[in-house]
């Protein structure tokens, strides 16, 4: 994304806090889960693609979390949504399993590692901005994930505080309140267009990390900046 010096200066001057999606943005969720699930599927004798199964798992989880937010009858924990998604995916794939196995697979999300460029970029950015995680994960899952990330954020916020999954507007506004900052001075960083759209609609700025080289899509809520990875983000904003 071409961005001029004046726009970069404006973004720097108007931004005090960077909030980051965790799963898929800071940590490599697809790659990490594929690595983890491959020996499990091999032991089960399943001949399909581990990458495809993880994609089915993640899509099912996303769909069910959106349903949970839209029906608005109380927030269901991320872990519980995950158990349902994995059980459904394995059942659909014809893979015999136990609920203990389901729980084990979902627990691996807490052990995911960051992309190679993340920690160095965050270290640079933290010299200028307050950095916070804003994740759909449960509070205890985020706490368990911290040692595997290798970087200490200034704040770690679960959407459980708002009672809705992202991209519900309440998640971003609750985060700004917790951070004690005007929402317009926050920039949300995410690898998912839906998350950037939610942040923009709620009043935040947004940075789209386009690791997957996918179109952002037609929406009035376009990101303020699009970068290829965290290294490029740090070079622009730090």
Same domain flag for 202 and 133: yes
CATH number at residue 90: 1.10.150
Peptide bond into 167 cis (omega under 30): yes
pTM of the model: 0.95
What's the total number of domains in the chain?
A: 2
Same domain flag for 156 and 48: no
Mean pLDDT on 83-108 = 98
pLDDT exceeds 60 at position 133? yes
Amino acid 2: pLDDT:
61
Same domain flag for 13 and 34: no
Q: Considering only CA atoms, which of 178, 174, 228 is closest in space to residue 199?
A: 174
DSSP 189: E
User: Cα separation of 193 and 210, whole Å?
Assistant: 9
Amino acid 127: pLDDT:
97
Q: What confidence category does residue 3 fall into, taking pLDDT thresholds of 50, 70 and 90?
A: confident
Amino acid 4: pLDDT:
81
User: Cα separation of 25 and 121, whole Å?
Assistant: 13
DSSP assignments along 201-217, one per residue = HHT-EEEEE-TT-----
Mean pLDDT on 207-219 = 95
3-state secondary structure of 182: coil
Same domain flag for 203 and 224: yes
- The pLDDT tens digits for 135-168 are 999 999 999 999 999 999 999 999 999 999 999 9
Q: Considering only CA atoms, which of 116, 121, 112 is closest in space to residue 148?
A: 112
**End-of-domain residue from the set 81, 111, 141:** 111
Q: What confidence category does residue 5 fall into, taking pLDDT thresholds of 50, 70 and 90?
A: confident
Q: Which range marks the domain in which residue 141 is found?
A: 5-28+113-237
Mean pLDDT on 30-49 = 97
pLDDT exceeds 60 at position 1? no
Neighbours of 6 (CB within 10 A): 8
Same domain flag for 24 and 124: yes
Amino acid 15: pLDDT:
97
Same domain flag for 129 and 227: yes
Same domain flag for 188 and 176: yes
Pairing label, strands 130-135, 225-227: unpaired
Neighbours of 106 (CB within 10 A): 23
Give the percent of the chain with pLDDT over 70: 99
| Contact in structure between 169 and 201 (CB atoms under 8 Å) | yes
Same domain flag for 142 and 221: yes
């Amino acid at each position: 994304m071409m961005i001029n010096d004046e726009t970069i200066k404006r973004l720097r001057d108007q931004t005090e806090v960077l909030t980051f999606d965790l799963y898929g943005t800071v940590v490599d969720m697809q790659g990490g889960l594929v690595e983890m699930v491959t020996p499990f599927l091999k032991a089960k004798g399943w001949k399909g693609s581990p990458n495809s199964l993880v994609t089915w798992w993640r899509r099912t989880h996303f769909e069910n979390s959106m349903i949970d937010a839209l029906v608005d009858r109380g927030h269901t924990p991320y872990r519980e949504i995950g158990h349902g998604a994995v059980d459904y995916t394995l059942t659909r794939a014809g893979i015999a399993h136990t609920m203990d196995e389901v729980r084990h697979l979902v627990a691996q999300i807490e052990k995911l590692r960051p992309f190679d460029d993340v920690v160095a970029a965050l270290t640079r950015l933290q010299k200028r901005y307050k950095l916070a995680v804003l994740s759909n994960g449960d509070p205890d899952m985020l706490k368990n994930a911290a040692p595997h990330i290798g970087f200490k954020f200034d704040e770690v916020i679960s959407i459980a505080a708002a009672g809705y999954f992202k991209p519900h507007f309440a998640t971003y506004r609750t985060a700004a309140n917790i951070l004690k900052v005007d929402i317009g001075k926050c920039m949300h960083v995410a690898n998912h267009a839906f998350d950037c759209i939610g942040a923009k609609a709620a009043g935040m700025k947004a940075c789209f990390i386009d690791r997957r080289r996918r179109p952002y899509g037609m929406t009035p809520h376009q990101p303020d900046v699009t970068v290829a990875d965290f290294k490029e983000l740090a070079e622009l904003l730090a």
